[in-house]
Structure 1
Amino acid sequence: MFAALQALKVIESDALPYDLCTRREFARWVVSASNTLSRNSASKVYPAMYIENVTELAFDDITPEDPDFPFIQGLAEAGLISSKLSNNNMPSSESSRVTFSPESPLTRQDLLSWKMALEFRQLPEADSKKLYQLSGFLDIDKINPEAWPALIADLSAGEHEITALSFGRTRLFQPSKAVTKAQTAVSLAIGDAFEVVGEELARIEAEAMAENVVCAHNELVAQVEKDINASFEKELLREKEIVDAVEKLAEEAKSELARLRVEKEEETLALERERTSIETEMEALARIRNELEEQLQSLASNKAEMSYEKERFDRLQKQVEDENQEILRLQNELEVERNALSIARDWAKDEARRAREQAKVLEEARGRWEKYGLKVIVDSDLHEQTTKTESTWLNAGKQNHVEGTMKRAGNLIAKLKKMAKDVGEKSREVIYLIIEKISLLISALKQQVHGMENKAKDLKIKTKSKAEEVWRQTSLRADEIRNISIVKAKETVEEFKDRVGKLGEKFKSK
C-alpha cells in the first residue's frame, strides 16, 4: 500500500516506510488522499486558503508561511482535529495558547481520531464499558475519552479495521505510541480510498510482473544468442569440413566423369550399330504387323458371322423350347379333357346302371301288382288291398333315385369346373361343353320325372276311382278293373324304361 500511495503521489517518493510519521506529514497526506483517492465529493477535505484579516489561525505555531499551513488549517476548519476554531466555547484563559506541534511524532490515538473523523460524519456514543467489550484493551484508562468514539467506530468496521491492519492483534492500545509511515499508509488506504489503492496496487503488481517478464525475456534472449553463436561456430566448422570433403569428391568425380565419357562414346558407337539392326528388324516387324492386321480383320468378320449365326441359333432354340412348352401344355390340357370325359362317361354308366336297377324295381312292383290283381277281393278286403297296391306303386316311384342322380350330377359339374380353372382356354371350352351337356341331360331328366309323377298321380286317381266304382258296383267288375290297371301299369313302366334307355343312349352318343 505504501508504494501504491507513492505512485498516486499521496506520499512523497523519498519517504521510507519504517520511519516515524510526524503530525505535519500525516496532515498533509490526509488532505492529499482525501482529494486524490476519495470518489465521494462530500468526503473530500480541501486545503485552506489564508485571507489576511479574515482567516483565523487554528494553531499558534502554524503560520501562513508554514509550507503545510493549507493542509493543517484545512483540517482544523473542517473540524476534523481539535484547534482554537473548535474550542471557541472554552474560556479565554484556557484557549489563549493552542499548538499543533507539527514535528512531533503522530500517535496511535491521533491517527485513529483524525481518520475516523474524516470517514464518519457522526461518531457513535462511547463509554469505557462498551469500548472494553469491543476491544478488550487493558489500558483504556490511558486513552483520551475524546478518542473513544473514533476507536469504537474503527473496531466496528470489520475487515477494514485500522487497529487490526496497522497494529495487529493486541490487548494494549498504547495511545501515545508513535506510528510509522507504513502504518499511516494503511490507515490512508482504508475507507473511500480502498478501491483506488487496490487498483493502484494491482497496477503496480502488474508492472512489476511485466518488468520481471521483460528481464527474464532479456536474459533468455541473451542466452539464446550465446547458444546460437556457439552453435553457429560449430556449424561453420562442420560446413568447412564438408566443403573440403566435397571438393575432394568433386575431383574424384571429375576424373570419374572423364572415364565415363570415354565409355559413353564407346557405348554410343555400339548403340548406333544396334540401332541399324533394330531398324531392319522394325521393318520386318512392320510387314508382319500388316499381315497380322489383315488376319485380325478376317477374324473379326468371321467373329461377326459366328455371332449372327449364334443369335439365329439361340432364336431357333428359344422357338423350339416355346413349342415344346406349348406341346406340354396341350398334352396337359388333353389329359385334363380325357379325365373330364372319363369322369362324365363313368357318371353316365353309373346312372344307366342305376336306371336299370330302378326299372327292375318297377318291374318287380308291377309283378306284385299283377299278383295282387289276381286275388279275389270282397268287401273291406278290397279297400285294404287297394291301399297296399297304391303304397307299393308310390314307393317304387319315389324321387329318391332322381334326387340322388341330380346331386351326383351337381358334384360332377363342380368337379369339372374346378378342373377347368387349371387348364387353357380351349380345354376349358371343352369341359364347359361337357358341363352344358350334363346340365341339359339333368334338365331333361327332371322334366321326364315330373311327367312321370303327373302320370303316376293320374294313374293313382284313376285306379282309386275305378276301385271305388268296382267296390260300389259289383265284385264281378273286379276282373275288368284289374285288367285295366295292369295294362296301364305296363304302359307306364314300358314308357319309363324307353325314356331311360333313350337318355342313356343320348349321353353315350355325346
Structure 2
Amino acid sequence: MQIIEEDVNADELCTRREYARWLVRINSLLERNPKLRIVPCKSLSGTVVAAFNDVDVEDPDIESIQALAEAGVIPSQLLGKHYGSDGSKGQGGIYFFPERFISRYDLINWKAQVDYEVKPDIVEQISRTKMSYMDVREINSEASLGLFMDMLAGEKSIARRVFGQSKRFQPNKPSTKAQAAVALTSGRMAKAISNELSRLEAERSSRQAEMAEIRSQLFDSGDIQRWWDKKFSEERARGFEVEKLYIAARCDLEEELIVQEKNYAEDLKEKAAMDCQRQLLLNLKDEVDEMSGRLESERATYVAEKCTLQDTLSDLQTKLEGLLDTKSRSEAEKEALRILRSWVEDEARKSQARAKVLEEVTRRWRWGNHA
C-alpha cells in the first residue's frame, strides 16, 4: 500500500495537485467511516459538471480533484460560489491552480474537513475559546469549521504535529512534501494507520503460525524426510552422472591438450621458418636498399653527364652552324671566282683574237709598203 511515490524529495514544496491525490488516496484506502470516506470518481461522463475550469477530463488527477470538490472539501463551481479554491476570486470561472504550491491554510483546512465531524455546539465553543496563533485574523473567512476544530485540539491537533510549537500560523506560506506527509498521517489517519499496521502484523503472525503448523504436520507425517531422502538420492545420482561427465570431459581435455601441444610445436616450427624467411626478406630489403642507393647515385651521375653532354652538344651545334655559314660563304666566293675566271678567259680569248687581227693587219700593211 503506497500513498506517496518513492521518488519524492521531502524538502521540495508540495503542489496542490499532489496533495489532493495523496489525500484522496489515503482516505479511500484507510478510512473506515462511510460518512468521512472520499471515493475517487472513476469515470467522468459528459453529464458530470467539471468542478474547475482548469482541470479537464484529460488531467491525470481529475478523479482526486473532482472527488474533493464533490465532497465539498474544496470550494468549486459545484457549490455555486465564484471563488477559486485558493480563496481568490476567479475570472470567467473557478480555477483550482493544480501546479501552485499548497499553502499551510489549505494543507490543514482540507485535512481537517476530512477528519473532523462537525458537532452542534462547535460554533459556540470556538467563539469562547482563544486560539493559540497570533495571526488568526489572517485566516480566510471562508475557512471550514474543521480547521478551527483542529486548532481547539491543542497539542493533538494536525497543525501542531505538522508545524510544531509555532506562534504564527502563516496561512499563505507554502508547505513542503514532508509537511504534507505528516499532515496525511495525522489525526484520524494516525489511528487508521496504526490499525492497518496491527492488522498486517496479525495477518503476518497468522501466516507464520499456519506455516509452523503445516511444517509440524509435515515433520510428523514424515513427508519432509521422505522428500529429502528422495531429493538426496536424486542429487547423489546426479552427482555420479556429473562425475562421469567430468571424467569424460577431463579425458577429452587431456586429448585436446596433447593435440594443442602438437599444434603448438608445429606452430613453433612454422614460426621459426617464418622468422628465417623474415630475416632473408630483411637481408634482401637491405640489398635492395643498397642497390637503390647506388642506382640513385648513378642516376645523379647520369643526370650530370647528360647535362654536360647537352651543353657540349649545344656548343657543337653552335660551331656546326658557324662552319655551315663559313662553308656557304666559301662556296659563294668559289662560285664568284669561277664566274670571274670564266669572264677572264673569255676576255683573254677575245684579246687573242684581236691580237691576231692586228697582227694580220700589221703584216698586210707591211706587205703593202714593200710592194
Q: TM-score range by the shorter chain?
A: 0.3 to 0.5
Scaled by the length of structure 2, the TM-score of the pair is 0.47
Bigger fraction of residues in helix: 1
Name the structure, 1 or 2, with higher relative contact order (CA <8 Å, separation 6+): 2
TM-score (norm 1): 0.35
